[in-house]
Chain A
Amino acid sequence: MLYRESGQYKTSYTDDQAIFPLKQDRWLMAIALVIAFVVIPLTSSEYMLEAVIIPFLIFALAAIGLNLLAGYCGQISLGTGGFMAVGGYTAYKLTTSLPDMNMIIVFLLSGVAAAFVGIMFGIPSLRIKGFYLAVATLAAQFFLQWLFNKVEWFYNYNPSGTITAPPREMFGFVVTGPHATAEARYMITLVVVAVLALVAKNLTRGHIGRSWMAIRDMDIAAEIIGIRPLHAKLSAFAISSFYCGVAGSLFVFTWLGSVETEAFNINLSFQVLFMVIIGGLGSILGSFIGAAFITAVPILLTNAPQFFGFNLPIDLQKHFEVMIFGVLIIFFVIVEPHGLARLWQITKEKLRLWPFPY
């Protein structure tokens, strides 16, 4: 009774094609938006925003990016960190050489730069698949990290080798740099992530998304009904890398403030990949769930034992973290490739029938 579609007749294809055809889903979404835009800024502490919520949003955006490529188009990538680095460094070069540029434009152009790099490294996907493609994208990861470290121009010849977000304003608020408040950084991150998540949802529901999924499920059949693998795969690489690029620019500008190339290393790529696997391949909602999960577990491991009155040494915490992720990834890869998002969907289907089992 809680979660029902009975009585909600769809009288037109327009209704049926709405993003959230069920009333309950629309309510949940509305509540989530109110929490995100009103409740969190009013109630969250600076620590909460800095350490939990802002990184959650940025990781969710990167996870959406990887999910478009891996979950929807079936092209595995271990280059996420590298594509995020392209975004971060582009944003840095743009803001330092064109100080008046609007930050939203900076973020978008960072995505565009990453999209071009993504297309370049996506070209091997026209020839190779699976494991071999993963290795090729791994090469992208290492090459990009090496490039940004080696070529001093990228960090403006700064002897420390770091890039630091300069202070920039929007609507009269400082949104980046050391003096930006956590609230301001949160709001701009939230707006970018919310809009791009909606865009991703739209893309995956339309003919572009269907062409990606067709390539993922059976590339030969896709080609025979007229889908060009070249277009489908490279557009997936481009759009996926765009998302990773924007996430990378936010990573530097609204979260960490200052980074070295090392921040974009292979661990970052794996972290985002784990989010996608645990959250659910081929699901935008899953990207958020996965990001929330992977950001939350370490924090819970730090705080929960204290709550129960004992102390877990830090190195043990780390070990637990690795073990939990490892077990979950094995579980999801083998048992439920659609991840937590699918478990949520099953729960909803059960609730629909509740309290009757049939």
Chain B
Amino acid sequence: MNETRNIGDTLLKVDNISLSFGGVKAITGVSLEIREREICAIIGPNGAGKTSMLNVINGFYHPQEGTITFGGEVRKQMRPHLAAAGGIARTFQNVALFTGMSTLDNIMTGRNLKMKKNFLWQALNIGPARKEELEHREFVEHIIDFLEIEAIRKTPVGRLPYGLQKRVELGRALAAEPKLLLLDEPMAGMNVEEKEDMCRFILDTNDEFGTTIGLIEHDMGVVMDLSDHVVVLDHGEKIADGVPDVVRADQNVIDAYLGVAHD
């Protein structure tokens, strides 16, 4: 299904990254590339270092070794808010929403980086501040339509079922109009129907907005359907990298998933 897709140059280049916590090695010398407009899946057994890799990419963990090049520039010291400002958004393996706020407000926070009017305008809520708020509200309403969550706009997200929370979290990430969207197990804990919806939203996001997506997922069927390219991690090392069909047939990958002992 992906042959005709308009995939561009390298957007993110992870080069020889190593990360350890005290004695525990989470990632060992992993390199990978994600190209513009593609959907790249990162898979691997539990504890393989997938989440750690996303945490490195968005500046939450600081690798001991290696470099990251994003949008053609080699990154220096990274902090999450700087990564966000550079155009990287993500969702979490365990939903990380602002539970006291409504769906609308949660998604609005995704626009915060783009809202510049200082607090004096805000305090008076006149002219520019009000106009700015409305413009962003309109954008957020498009996302709400897109994700089909109109009915829960004003509901505090703490009261929503898990599947919907995951959808709101995707909405919040989309609100930032990211260049690179990182999704950490967006379908974990969902029923079949919810998974299908989520797959559709991911594909549509990629299709309509041309967003580059890095995706961690366990469901092999989903991975094969969605992704242009798959990276497999095991015990912190990269063991395979390529198009889905090739990766699926790779003996190392099969062994890793079947739990064949390492020598």
Contacts and interface: CB of A to CB of B under 8 A. Distances in A.
Interface of A: 13-14, 17, 199, 202-203, 205-208, 210-211, 213-214, 216-218, 220-228, 235, 239, 282
Nearest to A211: B112
A226 B122 contact: no
Contacts of B112: 207, 210-211, 214, 225-227
Given A217-B98, A225-B109, A208 B125 contact: no
Given A214-B112, A224-B80, 18 more contacts: A13-B137, A13-B138, A199-B123, A202-B125, A206-B129, A207-B112, A213-B101, A214-B98, A217-B100, A220-B96, A221-B98, A222-B98, A223-B81, A223-B84, A224-B58, A224-B90, A226-B112, A282-B100
B105 interface: yes
B108 A225 contact: no
A210 B175 CA distance: 14
B97 A218 contact: yes
A221 B100 contact: no
Interface in B81-122: 81, 83-85, 89-90, 92, 96-101, 105, 108-113, 115, 117, 119, 122
Interface in B140-187: 141, 172-173, 176
28 contacts: A13-B134, A17-B133, A199-B123, A202-B122, A202-B124, A203-B119, A203-B122, A205-B125, A206-B115, A206-B122, A206-B129, A206-B133, A207-B122, A207-B133, A208-B119, A210-B101, A210-B105, A211-B109, A213-B101, A214-B109, A218-B96, A222-B98, A224-B60, A225-B110, A225-B113, A227-B109, A239-B119, A282-B100
A225 B175 CA distance: 10
B204 to A, nearest CB: 21
Nearest to B136: A207
Most buried by B among A203, A210, A213: A210
Contacts of A220: 60, 80, 96
Given A225-B84, A226-B176, A14 B97 contact: no
Contacts of B111: 207
Contacts of B109: 207, 210-211, 214, 222, 225, 227
Nearest to B169: A221
B98 A218 contact: yes
Given A203-B123, A207-B108, A221 B97 contact: yes
A224 B110 CA distance: 10
Contacts of A282: 100
Nearest to A199: B123
Interface range on chain B (Cβ under 8 Å from partner): 35 or more
Interface SS of B by simple majority: helix
Contact of A210 (B92, B108, B129, B176): B108
Contacts of B138: 13
A224 B89 CA distance: 7
Given A210-B112, A211-B112, A224-B90, A199 B124 contact: yes
Contact of B81 (A207, A210, A227): A227
Contacts of B115: 206-207
A145 B60 CA distance: 40
Interface of B: 58, 60, 79-81, 83-85, 89-90, 92, 96-101, 105, 108-113, 115, 117, 119, 122-125, 129, 133-134, 137-138, 141, 172-173, 176
Contacts of A202: 122-125
Contacts of B98: 213-214, 216-218, 221-222
Contacts of B172: 225
Contacts of B124: 199, 202
A282 B81 CA distance: 25
Nearest to A13: B137
Contacts of A206: 115, 122, 125, 129, 133
A206 B134 CA distance: 11
List of 6 A-B pairs having minimum Cβ-Cβ separation, nearest first:
A226-B84, A217-B98, A221-B96, A202-B125, A226-B113, A207-B115
Contact of A217 (B85, B101, B176): B101
Contacts of A205: 125
Nearest to A231: B81
B7 to A, nearest CB: 26
A239 B123 CA distance: 11
A225 B92 CA distance: 12
